[in-house]
Chain A
Amino acid sequence: MYKYSEKDKSIIESRTKQFKNQVQRRLNGQLSEEEFKPLRLMNGLYLQLHAYMLRVAIPYGELSSSQLRKLAFIAEKFDRGYGHFTTRQNIQFNWPKLPDVPDILHELSKVEMHAIQTSGNCIRNISSDHLAGITIDEIEDPRPWCEIIRQWSTFHPEFSFLPRKFKIAVIGSKKDRAAMLVHDIGLRLIKKDKEIGFEVFVGGGQGRTPIIAKKIKNFLQKKDLLNYLEAILNTYNQEGRRDNIYKARIKILVKELGIEKFKLLVDENFKKLSDKNLEIDKVSIDKIFSFFTLPELKPNSHKVQIHKNKEYNEWVTQNTLSHKVSGYSIVHISLKSANHPPGDISSQQMMALSKISEDFSFSEIRVTHEQNLILPHVENKNIYKLWIELKKLSLATPNIGLISDTICCPGMDYCALATARSIPISQKISNHFKSFSDQKILGDLKIKISGCINACGHHHVGNIGILGLDRNGQEFYQITLGGSAKEDASIGEIVGPSFPESKLIDAINTILNTYKKNKKKKTEDFLSVFRRVGIKEFKKDLYDNT
């Protein structure tokens, strides 16, 4: 795991002191809200529906046990005893008081965390594959590259006031577990003629104009990564629209210019930058990579234990994966138990999980963009013991990748922008489909719920997407089908008129029945059936009898 340098530490400490002074000036009336707002947003502090909300970055989803313990402490001392993991590997605290925020940031800095660039029109938290460095299918660990980009982009003077926010994801496998193709820039490590470099994608995104990113570069040498990113960002900064917030993201620029024209502009900028000292040398790369070595795992032949306990077996089947080192497993911890707000975790759970990670997983925890957690290195011989511990904490729900493992934004219960609630919908779904055997029959199925068109709940790329709308003061829910955030990314199609909350579960049941009756073999998942039979079949079943 990356450890802050003295420079990193001094940057964070000075920013914390600076913000403390700004808060004081705001409370004394020396700064108006208009003057203070951009300053607080630069430090991840929003004012939401009920209260302030602080968004803390978890770069590329990696947490240490001491960091998780600190988050538990903050939730307990400064908030209401819980935190919320977001869809971009951040955590949000929903009830901090303004005078406490500098103290929270100070506490975070003690464990090398911060809230910088979690808001505003800048380069946001770099996200990655939650299985980075631990799966066999990986070309190379993407985390060091995320860290290199994090260091380059933090407080980058040219990119602090971009036309709009800017999100980058880096993955190291063919499999996309980070929704890379719906990011402003997506980077995938690939191997070409024995050399590892990057495939570069640009202009993906969700919101009101969902677009799958286009490939702009087939192969980018590692040494050129920062120069090329700088060339893309420069092009966006120069050409991107600032007159209309809804047309300001890079995806609109790429769409309007066309990928070929955009690529030409980027290449011109890239040439201009070629003499700029952003080339990364091998020594610097190796230094960053040295932070991301595996803990001392001892390969062994232990298999995951089988047990008479049905509940345990269900959980093992659904929530564990093989580690690249034999004798170890990757354990998913679902934050989607029935009736539970997706992504929420209490301070007691965080505290206990911190200790569990020390006992079972070399003090490491991962945060997924699907709002779950991971213990990355668990010895197979300890899996049953771990399950017992997780079960005591209500953290052993066996539903990873199943219908009740919904992604969900905070919606109108928290968010000032939302047009409808999303958490109660997610709770209804998880409660309705809580039987493990029923969920297994449905197989892999991603339901993603957003409370407004900004799509923080990723509804566009849900196999079943649900978008909350306000229709004359009433909450309605529009359903999209066929979306995917994986390597075969696609934007879901609107199935038809929206449904009131009272009819939504029935509508989902109808959709699932259409899937089941069209399924050709047991293993054919929802997305495959949808892509084979098309939306008409689903539409007919949903609307023809109404």
Chain B
Amino acid sequence: MAKKLRGEFFILSANDLRTGEVVFLTEKGWSVNSSEATIIKIDQVDKFQAISDRDEKKCIIVSSKFVELDENRKIKSLRDKIRNSGLTFKI
């Protein structure tokens, strides 16, 4: 995963294995609140990848990914913004 990453700062995201909900890694564990997510520098990616692998094995999360942040430390891509904020229209 780390080899393909572009950018300098990231947060780590995944889906909760049981509920499928989008979650983010925080200092206290996985949370649905991205504002609490731990900011990860590119050179820390391997360390956090290990945490992700561990939690996948523990059946807490699935399908983890590093989400790139922009220069304001906000989520950069539209896809990840939608993933974080939910649908862009009313149901």
B is bound to A: yes
Q: Using a CB–CB distance below 8 Å, which chain A residues touch chain B?
A: 26-29, 33, 47, 49-52, 80, 82, 95-99, 339, 341, 344, 412-414, 418, 421, 423-424, 427, 470, 473, 475
The answer to whether B5 has its CB under 8 Å from any CB of chain A is: no
What is the 8 Å Cβ interface bit string for chain B, positions 80-91, against chain A (1 contact, 0 not)?
A: 001100111111
A28-B59, A98-B18 in contact; A49/B79 too (CB < 8 A)?
Answer: yes
CB interface residues, B 32-91, toward A, < 8 Å: 56-59, 62-63, 76-79, 82-83, 86-91
The chain A residue sitting closest to B58, CB to CB, is A29
Task: Sample 17 A-B pairs with CB under 8 A, ordered by A number.
Answer: A26-B59, A27-B59, A29-B57, A33-B63, A47-B15, A47-B63, A50-B87, A51-B21, A51-B22, A96-B20, A412-B78, A412-B82, A418-B79, A421-B82, A421-B88, A473-B76, A473-B77
In the complex the two chains form, is B19's CB within 8 Å of A29's CB? no
Query: Once the chains are docked, how many angstroms separate the CA of A95 from the CA of B89?
Result: 16
Name the B residues within 8 Å of A28 (CB-CB): 59
In the complex the two chains form, is B20's CB within 8 Å of A98's CB? yes
The answer to whether B2 has its CB under 8 Å from any CB of chain A is: no
Name the B residues within 8 Å of A421 (CB-CB): 82, 88
In the complex the two chains form, is B20's CB within 8 Å of A424's CB? no
In the complex the two chains form, is B91's CB within 8 Å of A49's CB? no
> Chain B nearest CB: distance from A417 CB in Å?
10
Query: Once the chains are docked, how many angstroms separate the CA of A252 from the CA of B88?
Result: 36
Determine which residue in A49, A99, A418, A473 has the highest number of CB atoms from chain B within 10 A of its CB, and name it: A49
In the complex the two chains form, is A475's CB within 8 Å of B78's CB? yes
| Additional pairs, 8, CB under 8 Å, beyond known A33-B63, A51-B21, A412-B78 | A49-B82, A98-B18, A98-B20, A341-B91, A344-B91, A413-B82, A421-B82, A473-B77
In the complex the two chains form, is B20's CB within 8 Å of A51's CB? yes
Name the B residues within 8 Å of A414 (CB-CB): 87
Q: Using a CB–CB distance below 8 Å, which chain B residues touch chain A?
A: 15, 17-22, 56-59, 62-63, 76-79, 82-83, 86-91
In the complex the two chains form, is B77's CB within 8 Å of A95's CB? no
Determine which residue in A28, A96, A98 has the highest number of CB atoms from chain B within 10 A of its CB, and name it: A98
Query: Once the chains are docked, how many angstroms separate the CA of A314 from the CA of B91?
Result: 26
Name the A residues within 8 Å of B87 (CB-CB): 50, 413-414
> Chain B nearest CB: distance from A72 CB in Å?
15
> Chain A nearest CB: distance from B88 CB in Å?
6
In the complex the two chains form, is A33's CB within 8 Å of B56's CB? yes
Name the A residues within 8 Å of B89 (CB-CB): 341, 413, 423-424, 427
Name the A residues within 8 Å of B76 (CB-CB): 473
Name the A residues within 8 Å of B62 (CB-CB): 33, 47
Of B18, B56, B58, the residue contacting A99 (CB under 8 A) is B18
In the complex the two chains form, is B20's CB within 8 Å of A47's CB? yes
In the complex the two chains form, is A80's CB within 8 Å of B18's CB? no
In the complex the two chains form, is B88's CB within 8 Å of A82's CB? no
In the complex the two chains form, is A97's CB within 8 Å of B88's CB? no
The chain A residue sitting closest to B62, CB to CB, is A33
Name the B residues within 8 Å of A344 (CB-CB): 91
Name the A residues within 8 Å of B18 (CB-CB): 27, 97-99
In the complex the two chains form, is A82's CB within 8 Å of B20's CB? no
Of B20, B59, B79, the residue contacting A29 (CB under 8 A) is B59
Name the B residues within 8 Å of A413 (CB-CB): 82, 87-89
The chain A residue sitting closest to B21, CB to CB, is A51
Name the A residues within 8 Å of B78 (CB-CB): 412, 470, 473, 475
A341-B89, A413-B87, A473-B77 in contact; A95/B20 too (CB < 8 A)?
Answer: yes
> Chain B nearest CB: distance from A19 CB in Å?
16
In the complex the two chains form, is B15's CB within 8 Å of A51's CB? yes
A97-B18, A412-B79 in contact; A424/B56 too (CB < 8 A)?
Answer: no
In the complex the two chains form, is A49's CB within 8 Å of B20's CB? no
> Chain B nearest CB: distance from A364 CB in Å?
28
A29-B57, A33-B56, A97-B19 in contact; A50/B86 too (CB < 8 A)?
Answer: yes
Query: Once the chains are docked, how many angstroms separate the CA of A82 from the CA of B90?
Result: 12
Name the A residues within 8 Å of B22 (CB-CB): 49-51
In the complex the two chains form, is B63's CB within 8 Å of A80's CB? no
> Chain A nearest CB: distance from B82 CB in Å?
6
Query: Once the chains are docked, how many angstroms separate the CA of A81 from the CA of B18?
Result: 19
In the complex the two chains form, is A49's CB within 8 Å of B83's CB? yes
Name the A residues within 8 Å of B17 (CB-CB): 26-27, 98
In the complex the two chains form, is A52's CB within 8 Å of B20's CB? yes
In the complex the two chains form, is A51's CB within 8 Å of B19's CB? yes
Name the A residues within 8 Å of B79 (CB-CB): 49, 412, 418
> Chain A nearest CB: distance from B6 CB in Å?
12
Query: Once the chains are docked, how many angstroms separate the CA of A134 from the CA of B9?
Result: 60
> Chain B nearest CB: distance from A172 CB in Å?
36
Query: Once the chains are docked, how many angstroms separate the CA of A418 from the CA of B87?
Result: 14
> Chain B nearest CB: distance from A411 CB in Å?
10
